[in-house]
């Protein structure tokens, strides 16, 4: 894992927390990363409700990129 950002932990109700996070990975499978993060959250913190956004290191710094700098994925219709 290269970086973790936009980490938010909220209490849904007493004793029930929710987490959302953006992670940037380098070469690992999304499925492997998701499983590892979910297991660690459950075991270490008791967090069962998590939204995890996994991004390739290639795009890890694109939070402020404009659409012109992103590779064409065929979604723009151009």
> Mean per-residue pLDDT for 4-17?
89
User: So what's the pLDDT on residue 4?
Assistant: 86
Residue matched to tokens 């297991």: 39
Q: Is the pLDDT of residue 70 over 50?
A: no
Q: What single DSSP character describes residue 26?
A: S
Q: What is the pTM of this model?
A: 0.64
Topology (CATH) of 3-59: Alpha-Beta Plaits (3.30.70)
Which residue would you say has higher pLDDT here, 4 or 70? 4
For the chain, the domains span: 3-59
Residue matched to tokens 């849904």: 12
pLDDT 10s digits, 18-57: 999 999 888 777 888 889 999 999 999 999 999 999 887 7
How many residues belong to the chain?
78
Q: Is the pLDDT of residue 75 over 80?
A: no
């Amino acid at each position: 894992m290269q970086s973790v950002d936009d980490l938010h932990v909220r209490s849904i109700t007493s004793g029930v927390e929710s987490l959302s996070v953006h992670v940037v990975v380098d070469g690992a499978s999304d499925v492997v990363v998701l499983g590892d993060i979910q297991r660690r959250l459950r075991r270490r913190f008791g967090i069962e409700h998590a939204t995890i956004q996994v991004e390739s290191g290639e795009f890890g710094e694109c939070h402020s990129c404009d659409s012109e700098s992103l590779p064409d994925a065929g979604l723009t219709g151009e």
